[in-house]
Amino acid sequence: MLTLIIVLFIVLLLSSAPIAIVIGLTSIAAISLLTNVPLRVIPQQLFAAVDSSSLMAVPLFILAGQIMTVGTISDSLIKVASHLVSSLRGGLAIAAVLACAFFAAISGSSPATVVAVGGIMIPALIKRGYHQNFATGLLTSAGSLGIMIPPSIPMIIYALIMNVSVTKEFLAGIVPGFVIAAFFIVYSAVQAYRKGWDAPERTNAWELLIAMKRGVWGLLLPVIVLGGIYGGVFTPTEAAAVSVVYALFCELVFYRSLTFKDLPKIARESAILSAALLFIVANASCLSWFLASQQVPNKVALYIGEVVASRWLFLLCANLFFIFLGTFMDIVSAMIILCPILLPMLQKFQIDPVHFGIIMIVNIEIGFLSPPFGLNLFVASGLTKQSLIAVARAVLPFLLIMIFALLLISYVPQISLWLPDLLVK
């Protein structure tokens, strides 16, 4: 009977059914056929999964990201970044990475970062003489920083399912996020130097000052949101609400790039994205409940404990497994289902769950860039009108950089834990 459930899951997955439907139908089949539990437990678990104050931050951060994507905050951040590094060879490519890092710190969404920054920077890079494949690959990959540099929607979900502090998880993502950004910057500078792209330009201090003056409102948002969280002024959920109010103020009052007529469309698109994500979370939590009720985590931990004898080997196997899963399914759903199963192994090998959360976030970033399911690939394909295969090829060098960063972050835990250990007692 269990084999039948596994076959059903695989068949539904290969049928291209939405991942939430795949997980939900598998949960119903498993509970119906393998237990005596009444089916009314399913709606109860679906409701319980999303009945969380921490999870309220997800739709609010999505709404804030949508407001800034449609508005001009992203444009002002790009201008600041461009003026800061224009005197360097490959300055525009470096500015693109910095702009993604800036926007990541206010949006919490990888696809939103690709749309907001890539829509402006990919044509600008091509116009400056960069190869189209390089420009597409860089922005598609750097956009993944949207879920590494806090606030991050997957971090909130991970902290919820693993019962760790959202604040500590946010802090843990800052250094790894900038490490990955630094790798992209070095690679971009080397490529620009080798191929003669984008000669340095003299920095105009007056233009930089004007760009900083106009961009200061956008630059203040991560300071207000993250400073408020880490300073104990408000919770992550309250910070999400603050980010919405602040983004609306900037776009409606200061930049005046939006009008009240734009808000219903923005709210509708945000509601659709939020509902889709929360529906996945609810269904995956239902399946996780079934697995826990059948003591699957303990059985898996016992089996892995017999096969895997070291912490080093466990981290390698976990990373390889999640990279493999990311090629054909939503890795966020995989994280929701599998992380509770792996929790006993984290305890056995004394792996900090906050550190493992950052490892999972990097795996999600890689999943966003891995065909055929990678969401960033679809977003970039729509932006550039290139085929999915062409975008996947353009991303390949950056994907290898991401895998190297994953190994570094996995085996040097202080990259993730230094900042939360320093600031959170």
Which burial class, exposed, middle or buried, applies to 275 when counting CB atoms under 10 A from its CB (0-12, 13-18, 19+)? exposed
Domain ranges of the chain: 4-39, 54-280+379-423
- Give pLDDT, residue 193: 85
- Give pLDDT, residue 302: 65
- Give pLDDT, residue 200: 65
DSSP notation for 116-177: IIIHHHHHHHHHTT--HHHHHHHHHHHGGGGGTSSS-HHHHHHHHHHT--HHHHHHHHHHHH
How far is it, in rounded angstroms, from Cα 194 to Cα 31? 59
Residue closest to 237 by CA, chosen among 225, 249, 247: 225
pTM: 0.76
- Give pLDDT, residue 201: 66
Q: Which residue bears the tokens 């119903």?
A: 28
In order along its 425 residues, the chain shows pLDDT tens digits of: 557 677 777 787 677 677 778 878 888 888 888 778 788 888 888 887 777 666 777 788 778 877 877 777 767 777 777 777 766 777 888 888 888 887 777 666 777 778 777 877 888 888 778 888 998 999 889 888 878 888 788 888 888 888 888 888 888 988 999 899 999 999 998 998 888 876 666 766 777 777 777 777 777 777 777 777 777 777 777 888 888 888 888 888 887 878 888 889 888 988 887 787 778 778 877 877 777 677 765 666 667 667 777 888 889 888 888 887 776 666 677 777 778 778 888 888 889 999 999 998 898 888 888 876 677 887 788 777 788 788 889 999 999 999 999 999 999 999 999 988 887 76
- Give pLDDT, residue 244: 86
